[in-house]
Amino acid sequence: MARDTRSQVEEFARQLEQVLGDNLISLLLYGPAVRQEGTGEAATLIILRDASPRHLRPIESHVNSWTRKKNPPPLIFSEWEWRAATDVFPIEIEDMKEAHLLVRGANPLEGIETTRDDLRRELEREVRGKLLQLRAEFAAVASDGKALGTLLVASARTFFILFRGVLRLVGETPPQEAPNLVRDIGATTGIDTAAFSWILDRLSGRKVPDLKPHDSVGDRYLEQIERLASFVDTFDATGSGDKIGARE
């Protein structure tokens, strides 16, 4: 984790502790900042004993400051909501399990289990929904090479989370590194991994040519995301009621 990210997270934790006291149960850092996927974004999970509006007011300014630093808004759950979330957010929960750092309090992932059936349902919804969103945004920016490149990189970070979910669905352990993740999702779903080369190079910090208006890089990327959606839509998860990580 980058030093500036660590210092930001520690400062955020101190601020929350000061105003929340024992209402703060957990603060967890997860995602790209832990995996070091070429982004300084720090995704956080906050568990509170009471997440009602009046208990959120003390942290308004701190959350506002946190997001102004280009970090994603934290996921904020009450304790009981989090315990009931396994059937709704299995993708996110399993992703947190594989890459997280407990910053304050009790580990909210202990004792939390998800099932393949819940994972399959969320994947169908999320992949199709994100594809529809991508199409709309693609149509809006395809004629602007710079905006197209920005869209592809931002979109890929979201789809990498879904890639990991697909690999878990078929019983595989997702690799941490983005190039290996793309390699494995290609082997599993048959999508053309070459369509992600420009994005992977950009994420790794390598110099890549700017995209042109209506660049074929964007066309190929969108086509492969469509193939991913088709794979998930037609996947038959035999034994889908098993817990994630279970083997038949």
Q: Which residue has the higher pLDDT, 39 or 175?
A: 175
Long-range contacts of 178-183 (CB under 8 A, 24+ apart): 178/37, 178/38, 178/203, 178/204, 179/204
**Radius of gyration over every alpha carbon of the chain, rounded to an integer in angstroms:** 19
Q: Which amino acid is at 186?
A: G
Burial label, 136 (beta-carbon count in 10 A; 0-12, 13-18, 19+): exposed
Q: pLDDT, tens digit, for every residue of 55-109?
A: 999 999 999 999 999 899 999 999 999 999 999 999 999 999 999 999 999 999 9
pLDDT at 248: 39
pLDDT at 176: 87
State mean pLDDT over 136-144.
98
Residue 38's pLDDT band (boundaries 50, 70, 90)? low
pLDDT at 6: 87
Residue 37's pLDDT band (boundaries 50, 70, 90)? low
Write down the mean pLDDT value for the chain. 92
Q: Which two tokens stand for residue 172?
A: 């595989």
pLDDT at 244: 66
Q: How far apart are CA 211 and CA 138, in angstroms?
A: 13
pLDDT at 60: 97
Virtual torsion, Cα 79, 80, 82, 87, nearest 10 deg: 170
Instruction: From 159, 187, 160, 158, select the one nearest 172 (Cα to Cα).
Output: 187
Question: Does the structure show a pLDDT above 60 at 238?
Answer: no
Burial label, 182 (beta-carbon count in 10 A; 0-12, 13-18, 19+): buried
Q: How far apart are CA 232 and CA 212, in angstroms?
A: 31
Tell me if the domain spanning 3-105 has CATH number 3.30.460.
Answer: yes
**pTM (2 decimals)?**
0.84
Question: Does the structure show a pLDDT above 80 at 163?
Answer: yes
